Amino acid sequence: MPTVLALETSCDESAAAVVHGRTVLASAVASQVEEHARWGGVVPEIASRRHVEALPGLIEQVMRGSGLAMAELDGIAATVCPGLAGALLVASVTGRTLARLHRKPFLGIHHLEGHLCSAQLDSDPPQPPYLVLLVSGGHTELVRVDAPGQYRRLGRSHDDAAGEAFDKVARLLGLGYPGGPAIAAAAEGGDPHRFALPKGRVSRPEGGFYPHDFSFSGLKTAMLRQVRALEASGAMLPVADLAASFEQVVAEVLVERSCRCARDQGLGTLVLVGGVAANQRLRRLLEVQCRELGLRWRLAPLAYCTDNAAMIGVAACQWLSHGTDSSTALGIAARWPLEQAADLQVRPAPF
């Protein structure tokens, strides 16, 4: 199996890793959470500057930790889409420069493909075909994986991603940023069934509902109205119960529609990846539902749920092992369909 140096700077996490196949030889992440928390969300200009400052030291750290020299690598990879344009440029330019300098293949990787590959870092990785529930700050999608590089989106959120909904509701409840961990902490000891909240559905133009799609706008509005009604009554805000009720209904919606999609597709395995996949309530509910329905389930290791470079390295190793790499003329794209991830490994470069 090939060995690669992988870089990730698509949003607010600077990361580097050295990966051999599915084995992580060294991995390091520099988080910017505390700095962006002051603004209640990611500030793109600040994120880009911090990536420039952090990435050289992270590369040095993981190369030293792997015990390898650049000459011993088989390739260098970087996330090139999707994400914040200025942030993506940092890893992309760094990766392409190192690849040319050391005469190594360069691999431009789709960020969401990296998340899909994070499940391969488990001790018992899933075998295709299988369904992936990808839930993060910017994405909520159901993706069918038939083989490495062969992906088909079967469901998505039509408004906010689940992670965005967590952030906005956390702000409403006066909790911290990022919202996922803040709500999870506040929900401890809360009653998840105290408040009846809607499970948003997306209408079809021809009638009925999309069975595998998500919408969180109605849920956010219901939370706002509930909070305003409690405040108007003069009652003390039951933050723990509100947080637990919100967290519970999000987990139920994600799990119910994912399991339905897996069964409708005739797939026996459901995989959970992405930053929100670290949520313990969601992980427990997924296990319970899959067990009841006779589905196999796999969870991305907690260390690789949020943005990291190890998952980018696994994706790169898969492509490199099939004899493909990217043009060093490949740029970056703030948006790019996951279904076209394979186009990043062709010439001429698609962007």
Model pLDDT, residue 94? 98
What average pLDDT does range 118-147 have in this prediction?
Answer: 96
Peptide bond before residue 178 is cis, with ω within 30 degrees of 0: yes
pLDDT one-digit tens code per residue, 48-61: 999 999 999 999 99
Question: What's the mean pLDDT when you consider all of the chain?
Answer: 96
Rg of the chain taking only CA atoms, in angstroms = 20
Q: How confident is the model at residue 40 (pLDDT cuts 50, 70, 90)?
A: confident
33 pLDDT more than 90: no
Across 243-263, average pLDDT: 98
* pLDDT single digits (tens) 228-248: 999 999 989 999 999 999 999
250-272 burial: b if 16+ Cβ within 10 Å, else e: bbbbbbebbbebbeebebbbbbb
The pLDDT-based confidence of 65 (bands split at 50, 70, 90) is very high
- Statement: residue 184 has pLDDT above 90: yes
- Residue 282 has a CB neighbour count (10 Å cut-off) of 25
Provide the pLDDT confidence category of residue 170 given band limits of 50, 70 and 90.
Answer: very high
| Measured CA distances, 124 to 118, 232, 297 (Å) | 12, 52, 11
pLDDT at 37: 84
Helical segments of 121-238, H only? 162-172, 179-187, 217-233
pLDDT digits (tens, 9 = 90+) for 301-317: 999 999 999 999 999 99
Mean pLDDT of 75-87: 98
80 secondary structure, DSSP code: E
- pTM given for the model: 0.95
User: Where residue 201 falls among pLDDT bands split at 50, 70, 90?
Assistant: very high
- Both tokens of residue 80? 């090139």
CA atoms within 13 A on the CB side of 201: 11
Domains, the chain, ordered by start: 3-116+305-345 (3.30.420.40), 125-299 (3.30.420.40)
- CB contact set of 46 (below 8 Å; sequence gap of 6+): 32, 35, 36
| pLDDT value at 34 more than 90 | no
pLDDT tens sequence across 108-122: 999 999 999 999 999
Q: Would you state the pLDDT for residue 180?
A: 95
Phi, psi torsion values for 234, nearest 5 degrees: 85, 0
Q: Is the pLDDT of residue 167 over 90?
A: yes
Burial class (CB in 10 A: 0-12, 13-18, 19+), 90: buried
The predicted pLDDT at position 9 comes to 98
Average pLDDT over residues 8-24: 98
Q: Is the pLDDT of residue 68 over 90?
A: yes
